[in-house]
Structure 1
């Protein structure tokens, strides 16, 4: 929509037409405690060519790491995306209206979403999935709110292995509310979330593989949660792992959320990505976001519609189950196309290849003097401990063209116990030469 400036008289006429006394009346539902608490530190306006030049200068600072050893993961992973995916998502059949409320003109988009939901539900071992969320972190926060609605309890326990940014997103969503318990970081897989479950617990949130790469015993945690009437929310940041690991739903999870970026979507410097959410059918009325259903038209032909979505999702926001009433349609389409190309056998092979590359990486790192691999279990990601602060070392290797991984101190600042930790990931794109280069560089920096 174009920006159309209005004069003071224009604004006065519009306010009078809706019966508002002033601009402030339009924000009556927003608590006064959060209004006017900050002033954006933005520069003065600039001509278009100056803004473009500034953005180009910023873009030149980016380093994709595509031409050198790349071990960055921590929730966003570099995988091969077939050229077929990019070709198909640009076909004109998908260039329909943004919001498919009118099913008679949006059957292609709606069928794609229905197939996407089917794929996600099967992948996660759950009864039903929605048409995607914004990303994995907001899907996690929405799952927490959903669990509180389902159980009518407030206490939620977040595992120490949950991605720090996912944890922070949940904290932001529940800002000012009681009942959220965030357990300390568990880089060595330590800590027992079971001890924190009681009769007032709505849900526990675990990640597997967790932020530090450890695999979690989902079945045991599901039993412990259900014994107290709590739900188990399982988070997956590396969705490719489900090509090798048992589906969380088959192990007792009640709600499963994930980041789907690894399938069909490149890194693109952090987004846009696609959040996945699936749950038990009995909870579907509390599931946020869009849900596409299959039906028949007046002639008995197969058709698709958005279903089980209340009007509150779109116009009475204060009564809505969620403030997310859209979906990451293009990213979901890319996910669905790539997964269709892989098939079940292809996804399993891809997952095994990722794990094999990670084993080779772990063996090479363990052989470097001064490097300790903390993981006894992992899929394609692991944590190492260095005898010196990790962040400067990671920067030094980046200057040499080797993206070593993510120093934990970057996501957990001010915590001395994580200063020497680095989270690294290997994928099917990781070569033996990449691993050898990293091991040699680490050996040189630690000598």
Structure 2
């Protein structure tokens, strides 16, 4: 097991030297004295593992610190910082580091959502820290408050905007009446979206974060496959306009809930009332709204992505892990003691707003209301508007009371074949009301 050297320094290995890794290296190298005072020991950058030594890098990175031998690097480290991303070789390297007695700091949400339990067990067995504040919501401190500050409370719900790319896209669609493709191209031009934005717009990135948040909040292992996931690819400019007419804004939400029956985690676009704090979260910002039995509602807001914000969260974990090494202590590990039942997606409770194109004639509303009644779904409001682009037809916007997801989805399917229904144009859930 690596230990502090004779001068009392801790050896830090950095895996990855991209945008985040470069920022972490800069802080470690340029703020060494300040970090030493905070930690109680010097933090030495042992080396930086990269795929290629020939890649052009920021001038802040000394070339003599670069290596392609990541395995040898982690074996000599007291603390390993993994910011390389992806599943492999990140998983194998983190496992290797933990087994060699190094504490690990990672920003890898996809890895934790898939392989978190086995890595937590390895960290516990070898009595080292595995920290991951940067894996969810960038610079926003959300992991530590849920895992530690609220450890004595019962969290009932976590509702969050945890993907800055989709929030920027939806915000631009709302502010500037853009269609989805135009807003995505704008996000790519500004560096908010990758050349391939699939992980963001399909909701996969947010789903990985939801799995982590649900596991922490409810002390129950929730894997990525347990999270029902729906992205924003079907959201249209017309959906955004109708949302505004009904006093809502569309956001991609990660929703983690604890009910008497068990735990449910899901990601999907949703209508958020303008009165809710999450409705005002714009641009590429993130926000997480936590509801607990005793603490009540809490909101965490800030930069959700980017090199410097993410590096801030990484460094917070790094300083804490280093302090623990100096004191011979350990931070909080995995808590899966509750082991609550994981509910299928159809058991989640939500509300729908459905926009239908229907025949503009008598008796249509009664037919539609009958379908809702047969599925035991209660209607809250109905709004009708003439379709000027299609004579003889009207828009019908129906908002429901809270019901099971399966009942609401069944209602939608039963409406589609009705002769009076021209088209089910949009179905969006309502959350936060």
TM-score range with shorter-chain normalisation? under 0.3
Q: Which has the higher contact order (CA 8 A, sep 6+)?
A: 1
Choose between structure 1 and 2: higher strand proportion: 2
Choose between structure 1 and 2: higher helix proportion: 1
TM-score scaled by structure 1?
A: 0.26
